[in-house]
Amino acid sequence: MRIGVIGSGALGLYYGAMLQRAGHDVCFLLRRDLQAISAQGLQVNSVGGNFHLPKVHGFATPEAIGPVELVLVGLKTFANRHLVELVRPLVGPQTFILTLQNGLGNEEQLAAAFGSEKVLGGVAFLCSNRGEPGIVHHLGEGKIRLGEFAGGASDRSRQLAGQFAAAGVPCEAVSDLRRARWEKLVWNIPFNGLSALLGQDVTRLLGNSDSRRMIEQIMLEVASGANAQKLTEPIDGPAFSRQLIKATEQMDHYQPSMLLDRLAGRPLELEAIYQIPLRQAIAAGVEMPRTAMLHNLLEIGEES
């Protein structure tokens, strides 16, 4: 399969590399890493075993890539004003698009431009970051849950999940993408936000009784907001929160992406992870006051 990766950061580089190693023709849209990868290839340092791709197809513009069978979107959502223009040159009659971006609203933007029948979404449970140009570090996890934007089970989503699995990426096709998105938010909203606000990794957040209690409270709040969204099956807030916290306790001093963005002076993904979920929850009659407070405090940091 010919695949175009838009948003070749830690997520896009890792999943693209795994797919290329499995035999797919992967084309990466690159900026910072273009020169290094063109000259030296792509190095993946992974808990599952390091590997090097000596020849990688890197491109400076989406027009140079042209139409592909699958567009894999890993773009940071604060750059979504450019999303459609970056994806459009890669879309042909048989193309479908999978966005693995954080938060809510990404599938809607792509569906408005290209048609809902072309769009799938997914949530990635991945601990990774970029090193020097041409190097990506896979620190743990990696599972993807993906599904049709239009909802329901499909052969296409099952086949795509199978291709990821064959490439060494655990992947599950789901029939309720909205539920999967909100489940990821139960983790993303407290851990990403508090880590960026306090400058602490997940181990330190859980090690402090006050921040741990706040994490638990926000998780329950987000689960309540999710369950107002007409999901096919409700999220068991207390049980699911305990499950997520137990998994996070194994992520030794992991720094969430929002903390890394703040440390690097990059914008935060506030609209997709906070503003849209808050609007959807309020529209369904559910207030999320701790989430709103966290968003407001993070927004102050964006103004400085």
Is 184 a residue of the active site? yes
**Nearest by Cα to 290 from 238, 226, 237, 214:** 214
Directed axis angle between helix 155-166 and helix 10-21, to 10°? 80
Catalytic one of 55, 118, 184, 246? 184
How far does Cα 63 stand from its chain's mean position?
24
Q: Are 7 and 73 in contact (CB under 8 A)?
A: yes
Instruction: Report the alpha-carbon distance of residue 114 to residue 110 in Å, rounded.
Output: 6
Provide the greatest CA pair distance for the chain.
54
Residues in a beta bridge with 141: 126
- DSSP for 256-302, please give it: -HHHHHHHTTPPP-HIIIIIHHHHHHHHTT---HHHHHHHHHHHHHH
- Of 81, 284, 268, 261, give the one whose Cα is nearest residue 178: 284
Q: Do 301 and 235 touch, CB atoms closer than 8 A? A: no
Active site residues: 184
